[in-house]
């Protein structure tokens, strides 16, 4: 098992490097100089522009910058400097990662709970209006662009009803709250963005569970058990759900990268100070160090997500053999 884990994780390293190289090439082959975006509308004479470029090392050729970056990473574990945040990249990521993990984690809890519960409930009420409602809702939620959903959510629940704050992670005065108060404040700010982020996955999960359970409930031995008088409830929760759990776990693991990707849009809409925001700002300001680091991290999440999914599957059902590749 350990060997299998190590082997899978070992694949992650060249993958991350491959991602970083791809991104670096993309960033380098684009036209223009990174300084232009920053200077914007201010008339700046050429010598000053050159001075700025020199100060940030933009005047060195691309391969040299790549080698330097790679060397710093492998030899010293350094990720470089973020000029858009004026701090080391590692610190910028260290500050942005926890909020995204919190957001993605909550979104995952939300979509698992909502997805499984609603999926099971609708499967139990097969053929009735509840099933159709859930199917409809899930289709709609899946098809709504996340940012649009976010904007509607803000307009409705934040402005119209005033139930939740429109953005950010905490209240302006959060530092002066008690520990319990801060936790509550955090939860309060978490509701809308997590719900929006998890909505599409919840929809997918709902349909999955619904389909899986319906399939399981249609199996011959279930019909036989029902004929023998075994209660519906026991069949539902005892058998059908357990059979449906397997692909659910698989889906959950595979949803991790979706959450990371979706966080870009949701974090921008809700001004959530996480990795998605960081990446978006970094891409627009050509902050190479940050873009490289965040895409590598995203790649790592994908690998981890796949790995977790496979492991969970193998644990839940010993008949499933662990695959050697990352995906079939």
Partner 1 sequence: MELKRFRSLLALLLLPAALFACGGEQAVPEASVADASPRAGGTLVIGSISDVDSWNEYISQQSFTHFLLHRVYLRLAEPKPGPLDHPESFAPSLAETWVPSEDGLSWTFRLREAVWSDGEPIDADDVRFTWMAQTSEHVPWIAAASKAQIVDVEVLDDRTVRFHFERAYPYQFVDAVEGGILPQHVFGKVPFEQWKDHDWLTANVASGPFIPAVHRPGEQIELVRNANYYEPGKPYLDRVVVRVVPDISNLTTQLRSGEIDYLENIPHWDAESLGSDGSLEIVPFEYANYDFIGWNGARAPFNDAEMRRALTMAIDRQALVDELIAGHGTVGRGPAPSAWWGADPGLDPLPYDPETARGILRAKGYSTAEGETGETLHMTLLTNAGNRVREDALVKIQAHLARVGVEVSIQPLEMRTMRGQVVSGDYDAYLGGWVFSGKVDLQGLFDSAAAPPNGMNIVSYANPEVDELFAQLAQADSWESMTPILREVQAKIAQDQPYSFLYEAQRIAAHAPTVAGVRIDVPSDPLNNLADYWIQ
Partner 2 sequence: MTWRISLAIVAVLAVIALVAPWLGLRDPNAQPDGLVLRELAPMSRPDALRMADGTRRFASELREVDGAVELRRGARWERLELETLDGGALATARERPLYVLGTDGFGRDVLSRVVHGARISLLVGLLAATMALALGTLVGASAGLAGGCLDAVLMRFTDVILSVPRLFLAVLLVALYGRSLTTTIIVLGATSWMAAARIVRGQILALRERDYVQAARAAGVSPVRLVRLHLLPAATMPLIIEGVLRVGDTIMIEAALSFLGLGVPPPDPTWGNMIAEGRDRLFDAWWIATIPGLAIVATVVALHLAGETARRRWSPQAG
Number of C-alpha atoms within 13 angstroms, CB side, residue 287? Answer: 27
Hey, what are 227's tokens? 């004929």
Hey, what are 41's tokens? 């509308």
Residue 241 makes CB contacts below 8 A (sequence gap 6+) with: 116, 120, 213
Q: How far is the CB of 200 from partner 1 (least distance, A)?
A: 16
Q: How far is the CB of 261 from partner 1 (least distance, A)?
A: 18
Chain residues 163-182 in contact with partner 1, contact rule CB under 8 A: 165-170, 172-173, 175
Is 262 near partner 1 (CB under 8 A)?
no
Q: Which CB sits closer to partner 2, 235 or 301?
A: 301
Among partner 2, partner 1, none, partner that 279 touches (CB below 5 to 8 angstroms by kind)? partner 2
How much helix, strand and coil, in percent to the nearest 5, is found in the chain?
Answer: 75, 0, 20
Interface pick for partner 2 out of 217, 290, 299, 312 (rule CB under 8 A): 299
Interface region with partner 2, contact rule CB under 8 A, candidates 19-27, 80-88, 100-108, 315-323: 19-27
Q: Which CB sits closer to partner 1, 207 or 277?
A: 277
- Please say whether the beta carbons of 99 and 260 come within 8 A: no
**C-alpha–C-alpha distance, residues 95 and 71, integer Å:** 24
Quickly list H helices, 30-88: 34-39, 46-55, 62-76
56-to-53, 69, 72, 253, 284 alpha-carbon distances in Å: 5, 14, 16, 40, 17
List of residues contacting partner 2 (CB under 8 A): 14-16, 18-19, 22-23, 26-27, 29-30, 139-140, 142-148, 151-152, 155, 159, 247, 257, 260-262, 264-265, 268, 279-280, 283-284, 291, 294-295, 298-299, 302-303, 325-328
List of residues contacting partner 1 (CB under 8 A): 30-34, 36-48, 51-52, 54-56, 81, 83-87, 92, 95-96, 132-133, 135-137, 139-140, 151-152, 154-156, 158-160, 162, 165-170, 172-173, 175, 268-271, 273, 277-278, 280-281, 284, 286
């Amino acid at each position: 098992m350990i060997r299998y884990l190590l082997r899978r994780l070992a694949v992650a390293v060249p993958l991350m490097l491959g991602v970083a190289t791809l991104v670096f090439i993309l960033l380098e082959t684009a036209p223009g100089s990174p300084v232009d975006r920053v200077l914007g509308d201010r008339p700046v004479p050429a010598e000053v522009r050159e001075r700025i470029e020199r100060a940030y090392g933009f005047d060195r050729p691309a391969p040299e910058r790549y080698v330097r970056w790679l060397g710093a990473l492998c030899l010293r574990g350094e990720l470089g400097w973020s000029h858009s945040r004026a701090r080391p990249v590692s610190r910028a990521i260290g500050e942005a990662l926890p909020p995204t993990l919190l957001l993605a984690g909550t979104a995952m809890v939300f979509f698992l709970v909502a997805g499984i519960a609603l999926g099971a409930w609708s499967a139990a009420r097969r053929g009735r209006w509840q099933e159709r409602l859930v199917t409809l809702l899930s289709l709609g939620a899946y098809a709504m662009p996340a940012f649009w959903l976010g904007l509607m959510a803000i307009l409705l629940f934040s402005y119209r009803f005033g139930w939740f704050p429109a953005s950010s992670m905490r209240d302006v005065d959060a530092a002066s709250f008690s520990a319990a108060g801060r936790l509550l404040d955090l939860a309060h700010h978490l509701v809308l963005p997590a719900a929006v982020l998890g909505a599409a996955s919840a929809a997918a999960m709902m349909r999955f569970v619904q389909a899986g359970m319906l399939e399981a409930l249609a199996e011959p031995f279930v019909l036989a058990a029902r004929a023998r008088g075994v209660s519906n409830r026991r069949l539902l929760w005892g058998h059908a759900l357990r059979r449906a759990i397997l692909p659910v776990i698989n889906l959950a693991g595979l949803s991790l990268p979706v959450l990371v990707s979706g966080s870009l849009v949701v974090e921008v809409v809700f001004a959530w100070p996480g990795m998605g925001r960081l990446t978006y700002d970094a891409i627009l300001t050509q902050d190479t160090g940050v873009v490289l680091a965040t895409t590598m991290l995203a790649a790592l999440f994908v690998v981890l997500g796949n790995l977790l999914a496979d492991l969970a599957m193998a644990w839940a059902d010993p008949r499933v053999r662990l695959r050697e590749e990352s995906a079939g």
